[in-house]
Amino acid sequence: MARRSWHKSADTRTEILDEAERQLQAVGYADMTIGSIAKALGMSPANVFKNFGNKAGLIDAVALRWVMEIDAAIDTTADIPSASRRLRAMAHLILKTHLARGETPARLAIMIGFGSTPPPSALAFFHRLLHRLERLIEEGISAGEFAPCDGPVTAAAVCDCLITILDPAAVLRGRSIFTVEEMTGKCDHLIDFVIRGLGHRA
């Protein structure tokens, strides 16, 4: 491909990120390189480095796009008055976002899981989710929906219970076995289980 003139801009970053996602899907994490992306786009590798620093920075930017979509989806649940209903809506929206994104987030999660730490954006999202769940649980306790409990510990336990919804790799594995309708039903069953546990009083 002929070399093109590039400038640091939102459009340039978007094209690089789009190509990174395409290559992650087509050839995988190990074979996707700064050089392969630059070659596909007809630009200098220095342009990719200028925009993202290195491969780790590029992967983090890809992850950031995904988690921003999930954050935006979760934000739409803020006005739901019931903590139980809000938790159910959050779980369904996270599942829906993973399904809409297809295989790339899952494959990246699996590849990075072998010998490398998750991107900072993904870790930051998980911490934000924990804090959101802590607040949701506190609100549920105040409203009498949930039994008194240790908020941080319980939020972490809820995440563990919902791992097949929260983890894009688990969603991909589930999608290979179940239909979307079946996975949606399983999401409801998990939330029913969690809500019963949160409401239980010894």
Domain boundaries of the chain, sorted by first residue? 10-53, 63-199
pLDDT for residue 75 is more than 90: yes
> Tens of pLDDT along 124-144?
888 999 999 999 999 999 999
pLDDT at 37 over 90: yes
* Interhelix angle 45-52/10-26, nearest 10 degrees: 110
Is the domain 10-53 a CATH 1.10.10 member?
A: yes
What pLDDT does 116 receive?
61
| Cβ pair 154, 198 in contact under 8 A | yes
Domain 63-199, what architecture?
Orthogonal Bundle (1.10)
pLDDT at 202: 60
Residue 114 backbone zone (phi > 0: left; psi -120 to 50: alpha; other: beta): beta
| Range from 89-93, 116-120, 162-166 carrying the lowest mean pLDDT | 116-120
Mean pLDDT of the chain, nearest integer: 87
Q: Which of 106, 124, 79, 77 is nearest to 165 (CA)?
A: 106
The pLDDT value given to residue 108 = 66
pLDDT tops 60 at residue 19: yes
Q: How many CB atoms lie within 10 A of CB 157?
A: 16
The whole-angstrom separation of Cα 133 and Cα 4 is 47
